Structure 1
């Protein structure tokens, strides 16, 4: 018997490989993989998401693209959008056709998790944020101990959940190896990719590249007010013939972008995982990373990249020099180890297998309780 699975995505952005955030990309690839396997899966997302047979639109158009650029430019208006999300997700939970399916919540809106727990629905919540997020504390205050136990939390890295007070298990992210291709042909650039906010640390990557005298290609795009302000003040003035802006890198061109000397992951704040790390390594590209997110769980020091103490720009410079000093044969061996590590430990297939185990466990428990 197949387990009926409902993956519930964020509706602010379209869900799919071209989405600006890792959360929407995660939902798309997991749903696509389960659909390909013939599982009973539905993906609840916005109607302008990447098309899959299992897509069930919660809204016709993602909330971001239903608003004007002027509206989105003001961060205060995002609070208004949150209330729109509340109403849509409340309606979803009230729909009885969803009550006999395993609900897999993947979003930064905690209302549907709260409502589903109150109704005793079978569910899990993959934690895409840091566990110190206020939302988890609020959930713990509003739900009884028994209701909190009914929420199956999934962490995406051990570091993320090390102080999490509720029951959880860890399932690392995985990438679809068909979309990220290994190659021995790569550019002589170092690369950085992410959102233009101070927390993502693009400024540190630029500072390190300048100190090392290396070329750096930057993938990213400024859209809302705080991103534009950060880009104009901290990134744009640093651009030159060696520090170049690539712009937003679409998912179908990421494999080409990642074919570089090394990725710099220089996040200034802790992260839940850091999806770009495994995307780059799937393409054979070593990663130089601050010890944040899942970096220490993915990167094998000196074998597939280098782990640097957080905020140590000189440490980034030193690692860049180590990459440059590797003999060609050793560097190519490092690239092969990167790909092999992702194939063995961080593929989409492995991730989907682990989620299916959890879905089955939750569903069998639900049926058992229902029959009593």
Structure 2
């Protein structure tokens, strides 16, 4: 007979080695890590974060480990090899985790990288892996499947659509996501523009939102980390008359102020978004979401009630949806966020996931 895990856990949260927390380089992983860390601490668990230098820890204990950042996985092809640069930040953070693992009950991995999955059997403390992207490379698929086979229940995902990109979808724990709703102010009266939020990179499909802005004449406010300068310059060349404005990468407090003034948020991904944190951030502000019927956003948006779902890669569909925005009640958007996407709801799911893993490993 096994003992039940204790009521409080000692948790080590290991960040992505792409860049510092708060820089925007990690995309939605940064917000997810922050919200899980804060919610777990609020529930009485001990939390420490491991990340690269210059990270924002939001007032929580932080260990900064130096090293060369990893190459972003989404920029590589299916057959891409696993690459480790010299003085790898990824290797360094996991060497630290190995050394201190005895001080913790569970380690939570946020890195979509081969090494932590490979190392899992060599740790004597359980590792929970929160996978932030869908299937991208054969090497990653193979090593994640090995872990989910040898350590059942330790692979978490954000949406069913994300899980479906893997051959082992039925063995993933779907955890969704959540945000601290008190940080997002409801805005009943929008300004005469629409918004787009995300990393400015080809897989995010920003050019479709720009094209829709040009066709409707409605200004588009663009917010997010400028990851691919060449891609951005190409958009500016291809749409010289589009009424767009780039507002930069914004911290949550400023982001929600500007996002809340938008008539709608456009989400135009070329790939399968694992979830789409910005969708629930928009709903929390009362902003309808117009998204391609692809990936996580298609599970978040209630078509015709909290926004509209559009056939993937259809600029015409975006334009038609923008014209139907008066049909959407902004209060219904906020209510959807409150009902499904609070940090409390997310915390319940994540905490139970931890309890199950610890129970299985006894």
Question: The TM-score by the shorter chain falls in which range?
Answer: 0.7 to 0.9
Aligned-pair distance for 1:242? 2.5
2:27 aligned residue: 21
Q: Contact (CA 8 Å) 2:24, 2:225: kept in 1 or not? A: no
| CA distance in 2: counterparts of 1:236 and 1:349, whole angstroms | 45
2:230 aligned residue: 229
1:154 corresponds, among 149, 153, 156, to: 156
1:219 corresponds, among 212, 218, 223, to: 223
1:180 aligned residue: 184
Question: Residues 283-304 of structure 1, C-alpha deviation per residue, up to 9 Å, x if partnerless?
Answer: 0000110012212211111100
Alignment of 1:319-338 (within 5 A): 319-323=321-325, 326=326, 331=328, 334-338=329-333
Alignment of 1:1-372 (within 5 A): 1=6, 2-16=8-22, 21-52=27-58, 54-59=60-65, 81=85, 84-95=88-99, 97-98=101-102, 100-119=104-123, 121-139=125-143, 143=146, 147=150, 149-150=151-152, 152-166=154-168, 167-223=171-227, 227-235=228-236, 238=239, 240=241, 242-259=243-260, 260-323=262-325, 326=326, 331=328, 334-366=329-361, 368=362
Question: Residues 176-205 of structure 1, C-alpha deviation per residue, up to 9 Å, x if partnerless?
Answer: 112211121321101112222222111101
Structure 2: tracts of 5 or more residues without a match:
1-5, 70-81
Distance verdict in 2 for CA 1:79–1:115, change over 3 Å: closer
The 3-state SS of whatever aligns with 2:295 is: coil
Distance verdict in 2 for CA 1:58–1:114, change over 3 Å: farther
With the length of structure 2 as denominator, give the TM-score of the two structures: 0.85
Distance verdict in 2 for CA 1:29–1:145, change over 3 Å: closer
Q: Contact (CA 8 Å) 1:278, 1:342: kept in 2 or not? A: yes
When the two chains are superposed, the root-mean-square deviation of aligned CA atoms in Å is: 2.6
The 3-state SS of whatever aligns with 2:88 is: helix
Range that drifts further, 98-107 or 189-198: 98-107
The 3-state SS of whatever aligns with 1:352 is: helix
Distance verdict in 2 for CA 1:81–1:261, change over 3 Å: farther
Aligned-pair distance for 1:344? 0.6
Total equivalences in the alignment? 341
| CA distance in 2: counterparts of 1:169 and 1:144, whole angstroms | 13
Question: Residues 213-260 of structure 1, C-alpha deviation per residue, up to 9 Å, x if partnerless?
Answer: 22211123435xxx1111112235535572222222232211112121
1:71 aligned residue: none
The 3-state SS of whatever aligns with 1:95 is: helix
